[in-house]
Structure 1
Amino acid sequence: MPDATGDATRAAHAGLPAAEPFRPPMPGPVMSAYFHLPGDPTGAPYAYGRETNPTWTALETAVAELESPGEPAHAAVFASGMAAVAAVLFGHLRPGDTVVVPSDGYHGVHQLGDRLGEFGVTVRQVATADTEGQLAALADARLLWLETPANPGLDTCDIRALADAARERGVLVAVDNTLPTPLGQRPLELGADLSVASGTKGFSGHGDVLLGYVATRDAALLGPVRTWRSCVGAVPGPMETWLAHRGMATLPLRLERQSANALAIARRLLERGDVADVRYPGLPGDPGHAVAAAQMSAFGGVVSFTLPDRAHAERFLAALRVIGEATSFGGVRSMAERRARWTEPPAGPTPGDGAGEVSAADDPAGAHPAAQVPPGFIRLSVGIEDAADLIADVDRALDETARSAD
């Protein structure tokens, strides 16, 4: 890519081939399950579509450049964020190992933790903001898994301090960097061994791609991850990979706009008396702000707050007109959801007929006690619309909800 130090230039050019007369600046997706492979396949760059693909190579090069612009790095892309998470956990953990995970982090990690437990791996859970608890949990651990800001509660932790402590104990550190994206936070620069993300969210940003990736400065750490990808076939399609690479060019613009919009909405929510526990790392008064400000260059587009109860929250969501109701974040269009719907039974049970009980069969997201939030908890993913329109939509929906409750 051209000589550059700016993130926007890097995002627009990373992973693209050198300019060649009469050729496109960004080659199209390579749709092939196999490649011509004469003779000895050892060292062949492309042999079979479950192992490698030129379109993956382009995006992996770009991801490595964004996650670690100052030092060579390596990356592997996956069919989804969870496929990337699974590759790290199952690729680097063995029976008898211990992994430390955030008790308030993404519920999918806890689901995988249950599976790891079945294979003889010990899973210790510690809250993201509990630094002392995390340090204590490192004893005899093999891997420390961090998520900062945590999804959905938005607590933060000091990556550098924890990575330094883990290194002294010989513990690997992996950071879920989905919410910040590599332009909002760079775990590898802060001492983490692995940076993992769902490219489905802010990285690709348009809500039309399922994708994940793992990045590291240590090529040896990527070996087990790539082996897992190939063995289980957790590979991304060429078109999805190409779309994510194409969308990456606008990441700086999207992230800047989303962060500004999120801060404006968070400030407005603080002015209202009908919401509680407004969380956004960019707010100076937020409990996680000091840590976030020290290690993040942008605070992202996710805001959370709590309404009085389930019914109140559902009325609020139904009253929104610009902001959609969906379970994702980081996209160009704003969306919100009552996050507790994934960890509680469907509406309508009465006492005595199973109220308060939920199984994985009833809950497609996989209920897990560690992932629970209050019934009125709202996760708001702020998009790139005009801030005034988003604030007006939230205000109007809250006002309508209050009137309907009277």
Structure 2
Amino acid sequence: MSSPADYGDSTRSVHAGLPEAALPGQPFLPGPVFAAPYHLDPVAGPQAGVDGYGRPDNATRRALETAIGELEGGECVTFASGMAAVSAALLTQARPGDAVLLPADGYFLTRSFAQESLPGVTILLAPTAGPYPSFEGVRLVLLETPANPGLDVCDIASLASRAHAAGALLAVDNTTPTPLGQRPLELGADLVVASASKALTGHSDLILGYACTADPELAARLRAWRSGTGGVPGPFEAWLAHRSLGTLDLRLARQSENAAAIADLLAGRPQVSSVRWPGRPGDPSYEIASRQMRRIPGIVTFTLPSKAHVDAFLTASRLIAAATSFGGLHTSADRRAQWGDDAPEGLVRLSCGVEDTRDLVADITAALDAAAVVPGT
């Protein structure tokens, strides 16, 4: 008989965090536990292992953490948002006099938070594709791979080895690939952080983040930080997230299939000056991604000549929503420069949904045709 470790991705996703023995009359996924205080023993008071107060204790949250931990391969601590998880990782590790290395081309709010909120900490930046400086004297190396929005990929195992040799911890932002696309802890990372609002839950209906580690001491530090600062997710958000995990493998498969077709389409269009998708042969990250990743995510980044061309493209499309998040069921696109990100005016991050591939290809073809000639350009 197969053990859970031998199960495929869909089986693991469907059963993650659920009890092995099903009780008659009980739901597949118990409903959310809405509780602030819980009943205490009137004589003995609080007891270890028994829920007492909703900030540190919630059964629904624990079930989700068990599920994500099974998929990532470590102990999971959930947070109210992805940035809450990132800030917890930074603030529990970095002290005045330390140095932290961050991706120069990753999510810009991670850089701005570190630069503004870590007084006395030296912030170093390096592009995801390298070159990387010496890690001597660095306390924490944070990678984001594939990088958002440029989609460069770095070698996690190699950088983990370098970081550990220098006495540094290595953290990986795993938002874009999810644990079904990449398992950083197996590659030597000490910590995984992610926004679960994106592809992991995939329905564009909640805000959530998590950190995951195989180090019990690091997990305990993160839990203590979360309890002390109060950045907990609500029980309904945790329940929604757990409910969504069951279709993760199915959603990612269609999104990746759509991304492959759209990347090929975009590469053949004269008004598109660059196309990035790590799963496409010829992409600068293809070799590393093919070796390191279990599945390439459904994000394609491409560049049109100007903001006006992007505006015309999005206006003409019938299936693409203009939205800043990604990883959902619906295909969406975001012109990154509008957020102050260091990106060309015409750079678009396209998040492929689960629509039929042929419908998306036809819609994007028509939208590109409509945007090919923009008045005044």
Amino acid at match of 2:157: R
Find out whether 1:3 has 2:8 as its counterpart: no
Q: Which residue of 2 aligns with 1:56?
A: 61
Find out whether 1:31 has 2:1 as its counterpart: no
State the shift of 1:42 in Å.
5.4
Amino acid at match of 2:276: R
Q: Which residue of 1 aligns with 2:259?
A: 262
Amino acid at match of 2:355: E
Q: Any residues of structure 2 matched to 1:282-361 within 5 Å, and which? A: 282-343=279-340
SS at match of 1:403: coil
How far apart are the structure 1 equivalents of 2:354 and 2:134? 40
Q: Which residue of 1 aligns with 2:126?
A: 126
Q: Which residue of 1 aligns with 2:193?
A: 196
Q: Which residue of 2 aligns with 1:362?
A: none
Q: Which residue of 2 aligns with 1:111?
A: 112
- Contact residue 15 and residue 62 of structure 1 kept, 8 A: yes
Amino acid at match of 1:109: T
SS at match of 1:336: strand
Q: Which residue of 2 aligns with 1:368?
A: none
Find out whether 1:97 has 2:98 as its counterpart: yes
Amino acid at match of 2:102: V
How far apart are the structure 1 equivalents of 2:180 and 2:277? 18
How far apart are the structure 1 equivalents of 2:94 and 2:50? 28
Amino acid at match of 2:343: V
- Contact residue 124 and residue 137 of structure 1 kept, 8 A: no
Amino acid at match of 1:10: R
SS at match of 2:67: helix
How far apart are the structure 2 equivalents of 1:137 and 1:324? 42
State the shift of 1:26 in Å.
1.1
Q: CA RMSD in A?
A: 1.3
Find out whether 1:231 has 2:228 as its counterpart: yes
Find out whether 1:76 has 2:82 as its counterpart: no
Q: Which residue of 1 aligns with 2:14?
A: 12
Amino acid at match of 1:126: A
How far apart are the structure 2 equivalents of 1:334 and 1:314? 16
Q: Which of the numbers 388, 400, 404 marks the counterpart of 2:358?
A: 388
State the shift of 1:404 in Å.
3.5
SS at match of 2:194: strand
- Contact residue 93 and residue 142 of structure 1 kept, 8 A: yes
- Contact residue 92 and residue 224 of structure 1 kept, 8 A: no
- Contact residue 309 and residue 374 of structure 2 kept, 8 A: no
State the shift of 1:234 in Å.
0.8
State the shift of 1:139 in Å.
1.6
- Contact residue 146 and residue 174 of structure 1 kept, 8 A: yes
> For residues 97 and 309 of structure 1, do their structure 2 counterparts lie closer, same or farther at Cα, with a shift above 3 Å needed?
same
Query: For structure 2, which runs of at least 5 residues remain unmatched after alignment?
Result: none
State the shift of 1:188 in Å.
0.3
SS at match of 2:138: coil
How far apart are the structure 1 equivalents of 2:45 and 2:215? 28
Deviates further, 91-100 or 247-256: 91-100
State the shift of 1:40 in Å.
4.6
Q: Any residues of structure 2 matched to 1:205-284 within 5 Å, and which? A: 205-284=202-281
How far apart are the structure 2 equivalents of 1:40 and 1:140? 46
Cα distance per residue 1:262-302 (max 9 Å; x no partner): 01000111111110110000001100111111111110110
How far apart are the structure 2 equivalents of 1:195 and 1:124? 20
> For residues 103 and 45 of structure 1, do their structure 2 counterparts lie closer, same or farther at Cα, with a shift above 3 Å needed?
farther
How far apart are the structure 2 equivalents of 1:270 and 1:304? 11
SS at match of 1:273: coil
TM-score by length of 1: 0.89
How far apart are the structure 1 equivalents of 2:90 and 2:196? 18
SS at match of 2:164: helix
How far apart are the structure 1 equivalents of 2:76 and 2:50? 15
Amino acid at match of 2:126: V
Find out whether 1:181 has 2:184 as its counterpart: no
How far apart are the structure 1 equivalents of 2:59 and 2:265? 47
Amino acid at match of 2:368: L
Find out whether 1:374 has 2:344 as its counterpart: yes
How far apart are the structure 1 equivalents of 2:228 and 2:199? 28
How far apart are the structure 2 equivalents of 1:403 and 1:303? 23
State the shift of 1:246 in Å.
0.5
How far apart are the structure 1 equivalents of 2:370 and 2:198? 30
SS at match of 2:105: coil
SS at match of 1:123: strand
